[in-house]
Amino acid sequence: MRPALFRELSSAARPRLTSKQSRGGAQCSLTGMIKCFASTSFASLAALGFTVLSANPLAAQELKPIFNGTNLEGWIQRGGKAKYEVTDGVIVGKTVKGEPNSFLCTTQDYADFVLELEIHADKELNSGVQIRSHSFEQPTTFVQGGKTNTIPAGRVHGYQIEVDHRPERRWSGGLYEEGRRGWLQDLTNNPAAQAAFKFGEWNKYRIECAGDRIRTWVNGVPAVDARDEGAKSGFIALQVHSASQADLQVRFRNIRLADLPTSATKAKPRSLVIPEFRKKGTTTAE
């Protein structure tokens, strides 16, 4: 157990003296501390453990750029016809009025990795980062809630880490599934993460994929910690969402990635409690 965590637990478990005991010079004996510590519920310990340990990112190899800072070599556009260009070492995506969601996708697939990048979106524009995503030449089907659904040919689909443009909601860093199930884990129950995103400014994202586990951070604040049995590999993509206004911009820079070592993907979860992976099914709107 880490010293900091032990101090927190010891403090929480230490018996409090009544005013009468204090006046009599009574002290908490070692036996009393042990009894009180033992009476602390496992659920409380687990919750505290999750708070402390889930914030720790997995160790990874050195992060290396997957964008060369000069041109879009190694990337391919799918979906709509938004404009993507490189300006001063930054990928700039611009909306084209009436176009559907557009995606600038890596030509390489990635499985287990750590991805870090910085994002600056106009306040009116929704965006996101696709991970482990796909686009097929032929229509494909999947079953949800007993119903068979069809993904059109060429449609980008897969996990997306949200860049939210709605200040009344603030779900940036949440886990969405583009083209399939919609919201998987939003930030309704994570006010610290909701407050982390800075509208109209640069924001640093960290995304970890290890086996069935996906975790995200926004400006260093833990946002999502989820498990799902979906795709375990696929491309990474930068989204320009459809918009009714032309020339809204989202910018991406310092895009760096490190493959996770095999030992990291097979290791047991480091948090004591993994939040239930919520499949709301109530909305597919980003």
Domain boundaries, the chain: 3-40, 64-266
pLDDT tens for each residue of the chain, 286 residues long: 444 433 443 444 444 434 434 444 444 454 554 444 444 443 343 344 444 445 566 655 689 999 999 999 999 999 999 999 999 999 999 999 999 999 999 999 999 999 999 999 999 999 999 999 999 999 999 888 888 999 999 999 999 999 999 999 999 999 999 999 999 999 999 999 999 999 999 999 999 999 999 999 999 999 999 999 999 999 999 999 999 999 999 999 999 999 997 645 554 443 333 333 344 444 556 7
Q: What's the CATH class of domain 64-266?
A: mainly beta
Local structure of residue 32 (DSSP, 8 states): H
Q: Report the alpha-carbon distance of residue 225 to residue 215 in Å, rounded.
A: 4
Q: Report the alpha-carbon distance of residue 161 to residue 214 in Å, rounded.
A: 10
Name the residue among 159, 73, 71 with its Cα closest to residue 115. 159
Task: Output 262-267 pairs: Cβ under 8 A, ≥24 positions apart.
Answer: 264/58, 264/59, 264/60, 264/112, 264/210, 265/112, 265/210, 265/211, 266/211
DSSP reduced 3-state for 137: coil
- The two beta strands, 235-240 and 102-106, are antiparallel
Q: In the prediction, which pLDDT does 17 show?
A: 39
Q: Which residues of 88-100 are buried (b: 16+ CB within 10 A; e: fewer)?
A: eebbbbbbbeebe
What are the Cα distances from residue 282, in Å, to 181, 234, 279?
10, 26, 9
DSSP reduced 3-state for 56: coil
